[in-house]
Amino acid sequence: MAAIFSQSEYSRYIKRKWAALLAFTGIFFAVSLLSISVGSSMIPVTEIIRALFGAGSPQSSAIIWNVRMPRIAAGISVGIALAMAGCVMQNVLRNPLASASTLGVLQGASFGAAFAIVYFGAGIQIPFSSAVSITNPSMVVIFAFLGGVASTAVILALARAGGLTPSSMILAGVALGALFTGATALVLYFADDVVVATIVYWTFGSLGRAGWNEIAVIFFLAFAAFLFFIFNRWNYNAMESGAHTAKSLGVSVDSLIIVSMIVCALISSAAVAFVGTINFIGLIAPHIARKFTGNDYRFLIPCSALMGAVLLLSADIVSRMLIAPVILPIGAITSFLGAPLFLYMIVKRGSVS
């Protein structure tokens, strides 16, 4: 990078990237505060700040800490995980439409989670309730991960054996998504009616069902993945020039692709296991961030992560406020947001090749 620009030009380049990162950070905090504030009971920002420091009224403190903070923490963790996964997938697969939702990873993870809940006792009915509680989160995550990795392995195998173009890779992802959706339907067909109803609702996506333990798992995995991605930021930059150029620069391309895809499948699957299927965040967030940071992965990865959190929190605000007090499925909101952009990208490019 420094060899392309003069020292003064490179300095201005870096300042612009840092300015973009600071702007994304400011937007993230603003949307987070807005998400805490809005709801059936509106809370002023000044009261939020007092409650966060332990000086708020008992009523507002209870609403913030017991109701809204878990939801917001889940939205931040899941948004970061899905956005980073999409950002890295688009790099290593050389496909601008790659994400966990378009490659069948989320559908595979949903199948694995549903299978664990129905047949391995990972979910049981709560007494005097129509809900099913996840009693063995680790098993759900493991099965969701296996489902997500299965889809990832098929995509990588097809890419290596058949030389898939970027457009046919997306078609393969659509086919895998349909396959896993059908498999999930078969699993639910033989399940108890109450469990079926609950899992169907779960697949719509909701940030309200994740408790602090589940949020901690998602956040830990997302943070570990972030460290891995940042550690390989220069390798991803090299990959932008093509696999052959990256190999000439000393990058172990094959290992980087495989390990990166496994990490992406892990964090996407963990998110799905606890909050349900949430589409298109991994597709939209990196493209928005890329408009301001370019393809410099030193800045694109953290900006994509922040934008993923912003988009998911914004979708959650819409889901809670559109026809309040009814809370709409957040997966439906993100699909309404992402599908038009997906179509726009296809039409704009003519063909994704």
- For domain 7-349, the CATH class is mainly alpha
Which two structure tokens, joined as six digits, stand for 188?
């639910």
Query: Per-residue confidence of the chain (353 residues) as pLDDT tens digits?
Result: 444 567 788 888 899 999 999 999 999 999 999 999 987 778 888 888 888 887 778 888 888 888 889 999 999 999 999 999 999 999 998 888 888 888 888 899 889 888 888 887 655 444 434 444 555 667 777 888 889 889 888 888 887 776 666 667 778 888 999 999 999 989 888 887 777 776 777 677 788 877 888 899 899 999 999 999 999 999 999 999 888 899 998 999 889 998 999 999 889 988 888 888 888 899 999 999 999 998 999 999 999 999 999 999 999 999 888 887 788 888 888 888 777 877 777 677 654 44
The model carries a pTM of: 0.88
Which helix (H) or strand (E) element contains residue 134? Answer: strand 132-134
Those residues whose C-beta lies under 8 Å from the C-beta of residue 109, and which sit 6 or more positions away, are 100, 144, 145, 147, 148, 265, 268, 269, 272, 273
What is the DSSP secondary-structure string of 20-42? HHHHHHHHHHHHHHHHHH-SSS-
